[in-house]
């Protein structure tokens, strides 16, 4: 995961005017970089000004403030900011969640839990839940998933528990993920399982909704097809044996 998992806002400190100016320029550069990264992933975006109206952008910016307050042990104020953000954007990011750079939440209705960790350049579509369970093992207090760099999570997907989704993995729409996901895997189904995709799809920098539109090679379906073939072969063999028996009986008669 990228090194910039904690919020880009640090704890309050004393800044001289020159340092404040430099920091302001750096923050503006990061904002422009963030907006440009969204434009690369969203073909509907036509300008940075338009992207500034996206609820996902507002939710992330609100979260930066809420997380800053949370780290300063100002839990009520952090929750207040979170409450306002949820009301305005329909996106609920717990102030304790750790989010890296250039997170793009497309549309809304997304929930990100308290102990969730998100790396850099992650894309999350609408109605996704990074939810928690009561872990029987693992890191104490870690209830929510860790999402590594450049992961894409399709609409309606549920990623549950203290699991890890490794870099460049794709979670298909409406998948339910409860186990660790290896790097570069494409996960579909309930429960989610890896599926085979064309090599050209894997090599692409970005797959919208995390779900390739060409034919998916589902390992479970492949097993069923093999079983169908074996059953058909057995039927043919039985038919041949019956024909041979009938032929022999006629000759004896």
pLDDT in tens, 13-23: 555 777 767 77
- The pLDDT, as a whole number, for residue 193 is 87
- Whole-model pTM: value is 0.73
Q: By percentage, how much of the chain surpasses pLDDT 70?
A: 79
Domain-wise residue ranges, the chain: 17-217, 218-253
Of 72, 172, 193, nearest to 128 (Cα)? 172
Range in 8-12, 53-57, 147-151 with the lowest mean pLDDT:
8-12
Per-residue pLDDT reduced to its tens digit, 60-119: 999 999 999 999 999 999 999 999 999 999 999 999 999 999 999 998 899 999 999 999
pLDDT of residue 7: 42
Please tell me the distance from the alpha carbon of residue 18 to that of residue 36, in angstroms, as a whole number. Answer: 27
Contact 149, 166 (CB under 8 A): no
Residue 44: pLDDT band (50, 70, 90) is confident
Predicted pLDDT at 181: 93
Kindly report, residue by residue over 200-251, the tens digit of the pLDDT: 555 556 666 555 555 555 556 666 767 778 888 888 889 888 888 877 777 7
Q: How far apart are the first and last CA of the chain?
A: 80
Residue 43 has pLDDT above 60, yes or no: yes
Q: Which residue has the higher pLDDT, 246 or 136?
A: 246
Asked whether residue 148 carries a pLDDT value surpassing 90, the answer given is yes
With tokens 């019956």, the residue in question is 242
Q: How far apart are the C-alpha atoms of 251 and 246, rounded to whole Å?
A: 9
Mean pLDDT across 169-183: 92
**Residue 10 scores a pLDDT above 80:** no
Asked whether the predicted pLDDT for residue 49 surpasses 80, the reply is: yes
Please state, in angstroms and rounded to a whole number, the distance separating the CA atoms of residues 172 and 211: 5
For residues 133 and 8, what is the distance between their CA atoms, to the nearest angstrom?
28
At residue 207, the pLDDT reads 62
pLDDT recorded at residue 221: 64
Taking the C-alpha atoms of residue 71 and residue 185, their distance in angstroms, rounded to an integer, is 34
Nearest 10 degrees: Cα torsion 185, 189, 191, 196? -30
On average, the pLDDT of the chain sits at 83
Confidence band (pLDDT; 50, 70, 90) for 137?
low
pLDDT at 9: 42
Provide the token pair at 45: 């975006």
Question: Quick one: how far is CA 179 from the chain centroid?
Answer: 13
Contact assessment for residue 8 and residue 23, using Cβ atoms and an 8 Å cutoff = no
CATH of domain 17-217: 2.160.10.10
């Amino acid at each position: 995961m990228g090194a910039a998992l904690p919020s880009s806002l640090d704890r309050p400190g004393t800044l001289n005017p020159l340092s404040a100016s430099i920091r302001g320029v750096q923050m503006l550069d990061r904002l422009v970089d963030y907006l440009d990264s969204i434009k690369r992933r969203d073909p509907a975006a036509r300008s940075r000004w338009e992207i500034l109206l996206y609820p996902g952008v507002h939710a992330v910016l609100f979260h930066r403030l809420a997380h800053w307050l949370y780290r300063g042990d100002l839990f009520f104020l952090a929750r207040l900011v979170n409450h306002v953000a949820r009301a305005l954007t329909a996106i609920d990011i717990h102030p304790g969640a750790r989010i890296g750079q250039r997170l793009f939440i497309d549309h809304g209705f997304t929930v990100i839990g308290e102990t969730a960790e998100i790396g850099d350049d992650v894309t999350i579509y609408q109605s996704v839940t990074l939810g928690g369970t009561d872990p029987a093992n693992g890191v104490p207090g870690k209830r929510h998933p860790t999402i590594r760099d450049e992961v894409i999570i399709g609409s309606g997907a549920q990623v549950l528990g203290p699991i890890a989704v490794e870099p460049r993995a794709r979670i298909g729409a409406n998948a339910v993920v409860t186990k660790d996901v290896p790097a570069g895997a494409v996960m579909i189904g309930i429960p989610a399982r890896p599926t085979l995709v064309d090599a050209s799809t894997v090599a692409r920098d970005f797959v919208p909704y995390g779900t390739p539109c060409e034919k998916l090679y589902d390992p479970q379906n492949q097993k069923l097809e093999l079983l169908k073939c074996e059953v058909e072969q057995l039927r043919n063999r039985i038919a041949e044996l019956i024909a041979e028996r009938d032929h022999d009986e006629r000759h004896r008669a």
